[in-house]
Structure 1
């Protein structure tokens, strides 16, 4: 790509900014992203891995427009070494994350029934029982307790495993694989974990070809048997869904940390339980749930945006984190305000690639926060806020542990 030909006029193109993989403590917003937001609605970035540079869109309206625009596709990314955050990049056929229409709808159809609002309503009593069993152990053993280890990690992993159809005996190994896959520790470890996980998924899908179950692996096995999707596509579909439990642990860890360090938020959650949904939505908007950016798109034709020409073949990233802090949409965006009147946040994405498990993630988040507050009166950190350890070298941010008393 020729820098001198990327603009519509004589103006210089945006400088290419290196965006390193930083280990950020607490809920600190990425200072590099802050600078990029100030520099303009459309900048250019170079991430630690891959090749070349990419456009970055940070404004709310632009992010919504790009993620709904078929001129920006994901499938082409699988054939390119685009600049990226992850050291390892080996997308598999069938992954919804890299599918464009009409394949996206075809692939999503077999599993959609497992993640509907109705399915989540049916799941809710079982999820609450799982959570209650964990809480009974915490209450019995008494404070202090690491709520990540005791509740925030095992609960979503158990619920996701039940939705997916992972046998209890296999859950520890599956979790070990997914935890390694989302890390940024190295390509070799991640490749071994992916081979292990996807090999296990392949065997599981094959074994459920004639299953009548409503778990995801049974639905996928039956869809392969009916020749609606290939086995390779079924495996590619299942992997990211299986990994989804990791995000709930990290996101809820950040939310709980904020409640434990901001007494006014904790008081509101306790005193006005009927309004907890608004607090959760504002926290979802606020928390920096990931490091850097996620997956790129490729411009399939020339597109003009803010007086710049994004040329066909150029990679483009959007930042949902930045969109959720757009001051034109969220006045005083760095303040947590559950009473703000503003458009919906983009924490679960937008457009065709809106998170498949969003309703499940929201269900687990509400149950976790509500149950912790109700079962643990006087809940507080057992260490100073600055002594809470945070995950390192990972794409999904969150506390590594939350030592608490009550």
Structure 2
């Protein structure tokens, strides 16, 4: 029987909240050495100002290597294999390599471009709500709504066959599950990359009107097949995992705060602020990618040596009492607090406008269609060992 690994402190949660020991670290030292799955301690950064400093300074804190490849038990790879696995993954590069890759995508993820998708996203949301209504309660909000809506959106955007959703969702779930053996996760990474390589080959042979087709047509001379596969893989996983977990966990958060739902129904224009508060309060991405100190430096009063790994706790930073009053309270009247749920600096999530639009459409549509929506059981199933926090299932009725 495989032993479930102990979660590092920066992945521990208590329901909606970061674990108490994580909050204590933020309110105490701020920056401290903690155990990690990488075989040696890492510097954990928990205060908002320090997190912004790390994420905003790609010169001192870089992404020059994937931490996954340094984990104990991981097989060895040649430099050629490492390069192929990293190709196109924006999270694995610093400027100027990161800048070069991101510039190909930035025009497609501006707020103005994303607004073109609004009618189709609204249609996808309505279709899934209609299906829930036809089937009748109870329903699993994760399986019936939170997961398929962003999956279909990102599939249509990228040009990924929606019929393949079980395959790529399975890849994503296993890849992001830290309880899985490292060998299994790396095998999943290879399988996911091979799947995307097949889609890239099809797009190169016959580019469509989707994002992969656009990249081939307009930048095929500038991007290798490995880079196209890496870009597609990153967008596919990030495009449905993060938003789907926000939709599931966010609905639970709203239902457990009926006063906030009443306010949102009375003043629907507050949905913009409500989404920002959900992003801040839930912060489903624990840390993002670890950084590597590129020089001897200082952070939060601690001496960081060149080569040390640095991990930023995004949930802890987003509840920093030095920045916000009563940060553990869920309050949709706060407005945009400058949270780091989408990261910060050059690696700020390129898909943030799309995720925001999906949530601004989905939450009101769900709450308006089912005014008596409520949990169908006393407990929900949190995904504690996933890199992206959320719910494995959420039975609801109405």
TM-score, length-scaled by structure 2:
0.88
Within the alignment, does 1:71 sit opposite 2:59 as a pair?
yes
Give the match for residue 212 of structure 2: 217
More off after superposition, 125-134 vs 339-348? 339-348
Q: SS of the residue aligned with 1:396?
A: coil
Which of structure 1's runs of 4+ aligned residues deviate more than 4 A?
20-25, 79-84, 86-91
Counterparts of residues 2-401 of structure 1 (less than 5 Å): 19=8, 24=13, 26-47=15-36, 49-78=37-66, 92-184=86-178, 185-209=180-204, 211=206, 213-222=208-217, 225-226=220-221, 228-244=222-238, 245-291=240-286, 293-340=287-334, 343-384=337-378, 387-401=379-393
Mapped contact 1:206–1:221 kept (Cα < 8 A): no
Mapped contact 2:89–2:230 kept (Cα < 8 A): yes
Say what the alpha-carbon RMSD is for the aligned residues: 2.5
Mapped contact 1:223–1:229 kept (Cα < 8 A): no
Offset from partner CA, 1:300-339 (integer Å, 9 cap, x none): 1222234332222222122221211111111111111222
Mapped contact 1:285–1:347 kept (Cα < 8 A): yes
Give the match for residue 9 of structure 1: none
CA distance in 2, matches of 1:272, 1:314: 48
Give the match for residue 3 of structure 2: none
CA distance in 2, matches of 1:341, 1:191: 40
Q: SS of the residue aligned with 2:277?
A: helix
Structure 2 residues not aligned, in runs of 5+: 1-6, 77-81
CA distance in 2, matches of 1:38, 1:58: 9
- Alpha-carbon shift at residue 211 of structure 1 (Å): 4.7
Offset from partner CA, 1:187-238 (integer Å, 9 cap, x none): 2332332222111111211222265534222133335631x12222222222
CA distance in 1, matches of 2:299, 2:50: 9
More off after superposition, 236-245 vs 334-343? 334-343
Distance 1:377 1:20, change over 3 A: closer
Q: SS of the residue aligned with 1:208?
A: helix
Mapped contact 1:379–1:405 kept (Cα < 8 A): yes
Structure 1 residues not aligned, in runs of 5+: 1-17
Mapped contact 1:33–1:322 kept (Cα < 8 A): yes
